[in-house]
Amino acid sequence: MLNIIGAGLGRTGTLSLHFALEQLGFKSIHFDQERLNDVLDGTHNAPDFRRYDDVDAVLDVPTAYFYRELFKAYPDARVILTIRDTDTWWRSTDWVFNTVRPVSMLPRLKYRVAEKLGLKRWFVEPEAETFRRNLRNRIYGSTVATEFIYKRKFEQHNASVIAEIPKERLLVMDITGGDGWAKLCAFLGVEAPDMPFPHAHKTVA
């Protein structure tokens, strides 16, 4: 049964948190690319978010974006918001979104041409590309990362989580700033393991 909702957006230490939770014995999903796709593409107007009964935790996007709906579907869950300095978050996000994994506009252009020529049924965009396109449009309003808009969305999201989730059910962690086992284990009521807190992507932005 889901009891930990990761409300932190990507590039805030969510993968490190995922590894930490697994080391503590929790079954965790990081960056779910399957279970909420019908929500991202607008297929369902009133979707059921009770989709994570088989795991203990879900982290990163898209689930972080839908923290309200997940908290309503799992009212006994606790929420962990991973945060990061906005400027360093932007540099990391800019690098990943615009350099490492950009979403090309070419498939959309090809689709429009195929649609006009009556050949739409022959056009198939790769699922991973469709997922990234829908995800970035939903969360940030643009597939291309632009500094002002993305920073604004990031800060608004964090402020909303802090304002809406009851304080006793919320943990705010700055993993990139040094938060680790002590803070996490105290919140979860478990003993801290005798090992370093995991830090994924330490060598990248």
The reply to whether 138 falls in a domain is: no
User: In the chain, how many domains are there?
Assistant: 1
**Confidence band (pLDDT; 50, 70, 90) for 122?**
very low
The tens digit of pLDDT for each residue in 11-26 reads 999 999 999 999 999 9
The reply to whether 144 falls in a domain is: no
Q: How far apart are CA 153 and CA 48, in angstroms?
A: 25
What is the DSSP pairing of strand 78-82 with strand 4-6?
parallel
Q: 179 lies in which domain range?
A: 4-100+157-188
Mean pLDDT calculated for residue range 50-71: 98
CB atoms within 10 A of CB 35: 15
The reply to whether 126 falls in a domain is: no
Which tokens belong to 191? 């003993």
CATH of the domain at 164: 3.40.50.300
pLDDT of residue 123: 47
The tens digit of pLDDT for each residue in 23-50 reads 999 999 999 999 999 999 999 889 999 9
The reply to whether 12 falls in a domain is: yes
The tens digit of pLDDT for each residue in 92-117 reads 999 999 999 888 665 555 545 555 65
The reply to whether 127 falls in a domain is: no
The tens digit of pLDDT for each residue in 134-180 reads 999 999 999 999 999 999 999 999 999 999 999 999 999 999 999 99
Residues 18 and 28: beta-carbon distance below 8 Å:
yes
9 vs 124: which has the higher pLDDT = 9
For the chain, give the mean pLDDT.
91
The reply to whether 172 falls in a domain is: yes
Q: How far apart are CA 40 and CA 54, in angstroms?
A: 21
Which pTM does this prediction carry? 0.90
The reply to whether 204 falls in a domain is: no
The reply to whether 74 falls in a domain is: yes
- Reduced to 3 states, what is the DSSP secondary structure of residue 188? helix
Residues 140 and 150: beta-carbon distance below 8 Å:
yes
